[in-house]
Amino acid sequence: MTITKSYETIFILTPVLSEEQAKEAVDNYRKLIKEHEGKITNEEHWGLRKLAYPIQKKSTGFYHVLQFNAPTTIVKELEIAYQRDERILRYLTVTLDKHALAYLEKRKERFGKKEPKKEPAI
């Protein structure tokens, strides 16, 4: 019996990518999650944003968030894929507890189908 949990992963793509290349990278991670019997519950593209500090001499990056339910083995597979991908500057995957899930539900209701208001990219 496989145990499934709720996860959220956020990753920052290098800013030198075109919009099409960034979309392709995100599609690869969506596909990886689905291949491991995961189900994406929410997705947010925050666009090009300024980084808090330079990473690999870059001051901006494309932010993307995926929330999904999947077996526990997915985290290791995702992290290996992130480490091998030169387009990824940083990544973080966390398990969502019941409080985080409740917050996300309230946030979805509050914003409806619209994306949350975003700060303009600098």
Q: What is the CATH number of the domain that holds 90?
A: 3.30.70.60
pTM of the model: 0.80
Q: Write out the residue range of the structural domain in which residue 42 sits.
A: 4-111
Residue 21: other Cβ atoms inside 10 A:
14
The count of C-alpha atoms lying within 13 angstroms of the C-alpha of 75, restricted to the half-sphere facing its C-beta, is 12
* pLDDT band for position 104 (cuts 50, 70, 90): confident
Task: Give a yes or no: residue 97 inside a domain.
Answer: yes
* pLDDT band for position 24 (cuts 50, 70, 90): very high
Tell me the pLDDT of the chain averaged across its residues: 87
Task: Give a yes or no: residue 118 inside a domain.
Answer: no
- Structurally, the chain folds into a number of domains equal to 1
Task: Give a yes or no: residue 121 inside a domain.
Answer: no
pLDDT in tens, 36-46: 999 999 898 98
| Residue 42 to residue 1: CA distance in whole angstroms | 25
Measure CA 80 to chain center: 15
